[in-house]
Amino acid sequence: MTADLMRILELWRGRWVWLTAGVLVSLAALSNAVALMTLSGALLGGAIATGILVGPPVLRALGAARVVLRYLERLITHDAMFRALSDVRVWFFRCLAKGSAGGLGFRQAGDLLARLVGDVEALDGLYLRIIVPIAGAVLLLPVLIGVIAPTAPVLAAIVGGLLLLAGFILPWLAARAARDAGTTLARASGGLRIVVLDALTGLREVRAFSAEGRMLALVQAREAALLTAQRALSHRTAWASAAAFVCGQAAILAVLITAGTNPTAAVVAAFLVVAGFEAVGGLPRAGALAGHAAAAARRVLEIADAPVPVPDPAIPAAMPSDTSLRFEGVSFRWQPDRPLVCDGLTLDIPLGARVAVLGPSGIGKSTLAALALKVASPQQGRVLLGDTDIATLPAASVRARIGWLSQSTHLFDDSIRANLLLARPDADEATLWAALEAAKIAEFVRALPEGLDTWVGESGARFSGGQGRRLALARALLSPAPILILDEPCAGLDAETERAFLTTLNETAEGRTVVLITHRLTGVERLDRIFRLAAGKAVAAAG
C-alpha cells in the first residue's frame, strides 16, 4: 500500500512548490490557531484569578490572521491538489495511449473511465486529508508537551500520549483495517460505471428488445454492491472517528482532573488541547480512507505497469526512402490462447500499387493494418517498409508513412475544423478546403451556417453515415503519408453511397499506395492486385 502511494507522490514532483506552499500555509494557520487559543486561555485564566479580563490588540490581530490564513490554506492546498491530479490524469492518458494505439483492445471503457475519473479523484485525500494534517500533528505534539510540561509534566505526558494515539497510531491501524474495504470499493465503483456505460451505449438495442427491466436490474445489482462496499468503509471510518473523539475527550478530562492544582495553567491547557485535537481529529478517518486511496493508486498504476505491445527500438534504424510494404512469413495471434490469425503469411505491396485484400469477417484482414501500423508485432516473420524491418523503426515514424481509414473511424464531438486538424495540425484553411473538395464533401460543408466551425456531434451524430465517412476520408487525405490503408471503409453504407465513395477514392488517392481491406468488391475499384485471405495466408486472386 505504501509503495503505491509513494509512486503517486513521485508523479507529483513537478508540483512540489505548490504542494510545499500548501503545507507551509497550513502550518502557519495551525500555529496561529494554537497561539490564539493559548493566549485566550491565558487571558481567561488570568481573569479568573484577578477578576479583570483584558483583550489586547494582539488577540484581535491573531483572530483576523486566523481568518486570512484559513482562507489561504484552502485556496493554496486545493489549487495544488487540482494541479497534481491534473498531472496524474495527463500521465494516465499518455500511458494508456502508449499501450493502446490500436484501441482499447480487451479493456473495458467503463473500467478505464472509472480509473481516469473516480480513482484519480480519490487520490486527493492523500494530500488534503493525510499529508497536510500529519504535518500539523508533527508540529502540535512537541508544542503541546512543551507548553504543558513546565507546570504539569504528568498531564503533558498523558495529553502527548493521547495526541500520539489519535494523530499517528489510530490512523495507521485504520488504514490497515480498511485496506480490503478500500479495494472492494474501488472495484465496485468501476463495476457500476462499466454496466451503466454499456447500457447507455446500447440504449437503442435495449429499447428495441424491451430489455429495460433486465438492464435496470443489472445496474441496481452493481449499485447495491457499491453501496455495500461504501457501508463497510463507512463503518471503519466511523469507528476511527469515534476513537479520535474519545482521545480528545480523555485529554480534556485529564486537564479537568488536574485543574485544582493550577487553575490558570489548566485553562491554558484546556484551550490548547481543544485546538490540538480539533486539528488531528480527522486523521483516523483519513487513515481509513487511505485504504481506498491506496487501492485507487494501485488501479491507476496498473495501466502504467502494463507492457507496451510494440516497444520502440533502443537504437532506431534510419527511415527508408522506399515505401513499398511487405509481409514476410508473418505468424501472429492476439492472445496465447487464441488461434493463429496469420500463419506464415507473405504479401507484397509495391510502391504506388492499388491492392485489395479480401476475406470474410474474422479472417484477419484488420490484423494486417494493425501489424503495418505497429499496433501489434508478429510472433514470427517480419513486416518490411522498403527493405527495413519496421520493428527497428520508431512507431511514430512508421505511422507518419501510413494513413489509415477504418470502418469505425471516430469523429470527435468537436468542430469539422478540429476533426480535420487531427491529421495535420499545421494545415491552413485552404488546405482543409482542398481536402474536403477531394473527398467531395466541400459543397455540403459550405452550405452549413458555420462552415468549418460546425459542430460534428458525438461520433458524428449530426451527419449521415456517408457524410461522416467523407469527412473521415478528407481527414485521411490531409495526411501526407504515401501509403493509405482502408479497412472496410464502406461498412454500413448503402450500395449507391458505397460506389460513390469508392469512385471518389479512385480520383483522390492517385500517386499513393492504396491497400483496400474489404469482404467484397463492387466493381468500381481501380486495382492492380487482389489477394484473398484463407487459413492465415494471402492467396493471389484473379482481377
Q: List pLDDT tens digits, range 231-252.
A: 888 888 888 888 888 988 998 8
Spatial CA neighbour of 151 closest among 272, 36, 35, 268: 268
Contact of 274 with 185, CB cutoff 8 Å: no
The domain made up of 325-540 has a fold known as: Rossmann fold (3.40.50)
325-332 and 380-385 beta bridge pairing: antiparallel
Measure the CA–CA gap between 92 and 386, rounded to whole angstroms. Answer: 35
Dihedral over alpha carbons 17, 23, 25, 28 (to 10 degrees)? -140
C-alpha cell at 70: 484559513
Residues 528-539, mean pLDDT to the nearest whole number: 84
Measure the CA–CA gap between 508 and 354, rounded to whole angstroms. Answer: 13
C-alpha gyration radius of the chain = 33
Residue 47, pLDDT score: 67
Predicted confidence (pLDDT) at residue 53 exceeds the cutoff of 60 = no
Predicted confidence (pLDDT) at residue 520 exceeds the cutoff of 90 = no
Residue 101, pLDDT score: 52
| Top-ranked range on mean pLDDT: pick from 71-85, 173-187, 295-309, 431-445 | 71-85
Task: Transcribe 500-529 into DSSP letters.
Answer: HHHHHHHHH-TTSEEEEEES---S----SE
Lowest mean pLDDT among 16-20, 127-131, 197-201, 427-431: 197-201
Instruction: Give 289-323 pLDDT, tens digit per residue.
Output: 777 788 888 888 887 777 777 778 888 888 888 88
Contact of 268 with 147, CB cutoff 8 Å: yes
Predicted confidence (pLDDT) at residue 72 exceeds the cutoff of 90 = yes
pLDDT band at 188 (very low <50, low <70, confident <90, very high): confident
Residue 144, pLDDT score: 84
Contact of 198 with 214, CB cutoff 8 Å: no
pTM score, whole prediction: 0.72
Beta bridge partners of 515: 355, 485
Residue 103, pLDDT score: 55
May I ask the CATH architecture of the domain 2-305?
Answer: Up-down Bundle (1.20)
Residues 153-168, mean pLDDT to the nearest whole number: 88
Residues in the chain: 543
Residue 107, pLDDT score: 62
Dihedral over alpha carbons 500, 501, 504, 505 (to 10 degrees)? -140
Share of the chain above pLDDT 70, in %: 94
Amino acid, res. 470:
R
The domain spans of the chain are 2-305, 325-540
Contact of 474 with 441, CB cutoff 8 Å: yes
Beta bridge partners of 357: 517, 531
- Please report how the helices 170-177 and 212-257 are oriented relative to each other, as an axis angle in degrees rounded to 10: 160
Residue 331 CB burial class (10 angstroms; 0-12, 13-18, ≥19): middle
Higher pLDDT: 506 or 430? It is 430
Predicted confidence (pLDDT) at residue 543 exceeds the cutoff of 70 = no
Residue 487 CB burial class (10 angstroms; 0-12, 13-18, ≥19): buried
Instruction: Give 214-236 pLDDT, tens digit per residue.
Output: 888 988 998 999 899 888 888 88
Contact of 240 with 285, CB cutoff 8 Å: yes
C-alpha cell at 200: 447507455
Whole-number mean pLDDT of the chain? 83
Measure the CA–CA gap between 286 and 300, rounded to whole angstroms. Answer: 20
Spatial CA neighbour of 268 closest among 155, 157, 135: 155
Residues 73-87, mean pLDDT to the nearest whole number: 91
Residue 106, pLDDT score: 52
C-alpha cell at 3: 509503495
Residue 52, pLDDT score: 61
